[in-house]
Amino acid sequence: MKIGIIVYSHTGNTLSVAERIKEDLIAKGHCPDLIGVIPSIDDPKVKPPIEFKSAPDVDGYDVLLFGSPVWGFSLSTIMKDYLTQLPSLSGKRVGCFLTHAFRYAWLGGNSAMKQFKGLCEKKGGKVFATSIVNWSSKGREEDISSTVERLSSYKTT
Ligand SMILES: Cc1cc2nc3c(=O)[nH]c(=O)nc-3n(C[C@H](O)[C@H](O)[C@H](O)COP(=O)(O)O)c2cc1C
């Protein structure tokens, strides 16, 4: 079972969650790859179609765990365009995680997750888990722990 953790992170928050998921999977005996989505211009104002320095290839992975920040009540433009440009996620198990900073998930996190999940499903991926971390909450560590737990407990059937 080959696992790819594919993450876009502008200021490092989402990347730090991805690293925690990677550590947990390693502790469970897996060998996941953690790969960054890197745009040529790393600026929230960049408009699609986005050019990428690194647009990770998903071929060869059975399980894909995608991570992104929320931008403007939506999925970050960078992750949105990366997923849009992907050929297919058919036959793959997919987990999606988001980080955001506004106080409540209804201020962006929930709608961004709906988009995130929808884009993965549109590409044929089977979404087995979603999770949102509120970076400015006192409960951040709990959010991270439950995200790690959900994303690393993928179903194979
Ligand atoms: C351009 C921009 C727009 C943002 N919009 C939102 C938003 O609508 N809702 C929210 O909760 N946080 C928003 N944030 C905060 C980020 O989602 C949050 O800080 C996230 O953890 C950053 O992740 P990163 O460090 O991986 O880039 C925004 C941040 C930026 C830079």
How far are the Cα atoms of 34, 71, 74, 120, 157 from residue 107, in angstroms, in the given order? 28, 11, 10, 22, 34
Q: Does residue 139 lie in a domain region?
A: yes
Handedness of CA 48, 49, 51, 55 (dihedral sign): positive
Q: Per-residue pLDDT for 18 more than 90?
A: yes
Q: What is the pLDDT of residue 138?
A: 94
Closest CA to 34 of 156, 155, 151, 124: 151
Give the closest residue (by CA) to ligand 1 atom 3.
71
Q: Cβ of 2: how many Cβ atoms within 10 Å?
A: 12
Give the closest residue (by CA) to ligand 1 atom 17.
100
CB 147 within 8 A of CB 17: yes
Q: Looking at residue 36, which CATH number applies to its domain? A: 3.40.50.360
Q: What is the pLDDT of residue 155?
A: 56
- Look at the chain and report how many structural domains it folds into: 1
Domain that holds residue 64: 3-151
Q: Per-residue pLDDT for 157 more than 50?
A: no
Kindly report, residue by residue over 20-75, the tens digit of the pLDDT. Answer: 999 999 999 999 999 999 999 999 999 999 999 999 999 999 999 999 999 999 99
- Which is more confidently placed, 8 or 102? 8
Q: Per-residue pLDDT for 117 more than 90?
A: yes
State mean pLDDT over 94-113. Answer: 90
Q: Does residue 156 lie in a domain region?
A: no
Q: Does residue 57 lie in a domain region?
A: yes
Q: Ligand 1 centre and the CA of 30: distance in Å?
A: 30
The model's pTM is 0.97
Residue 46 beta carbon below 6 angstroms from any ligand 1 atom? no
Report the alpha-carbon distance of residue 73 to residue 52 in Å, rounded: 23
Q: What is the pLDDT of residue 105?
A: 75
